[in-house]
Amino acid sequence: MSGFSIWHLAPIMPILLGIIGVAANRGDKRLTRWFFFLRVIAVFIIGVAMAALIDEENDTALGVTMAYIAAAWILIPYWAVERLRDMGITKKYWAVLTAVPVIGVFYTLYLLCAGDDGKDRVAS
């Protein structure tokens, strides 16, 4: 029972993937509420469709699903950085909160509902 296992890292894996997503966003683009909503909904719909198609006996489908979940944990914080810029928040690492289990759901809902900073912009 003593010893370290890879499963000890499982709770922090979403946060590490979120940090990768935030660090990868080096641009200065902004993302409006509507386009952020569409992207998050697209990730959700694709995830639900994949969950419905998973065959419990097929390890390949499970592997593809795990890769999709990891990609979602990178993409949503990546897009959250652009949404934070639209809101006028310059500290991009607030976007890591979208990858934290449980807290991420509520923070993503906040990003979906919060207004922008009122500056003119081009929709992404």
**Is the overall model pTM greater than 0.95, yes or no?**
no
Q: Where is average pLDDT lowest: 64-73, 83-92, 110-119? A: 110-119
The predicted pLDDT at position 50 comes to 84
The predicted pLDDT at position 1 comes to 52
- Helix extents (H) in 1-124: 13-24, 33-53, 59-87, 103-113
Confidence check: pLDDT of 57 > 70: yes
The predicted pLDDT at position 24 comes to 95
Confidence check: pLDDT of 123 > 70: no
- For residues 92 and 84, the answer to whether their CB atoms sit within 8 Å is yes
Residue 70 burial (10 A CB sphere; 0-12, 13-18, 19+):
middle
> What Cα–Cα distance (Å) separates residue 39 from each residue in 10, 34, 55, 56, 60?
26, 9, 26, 28, 26
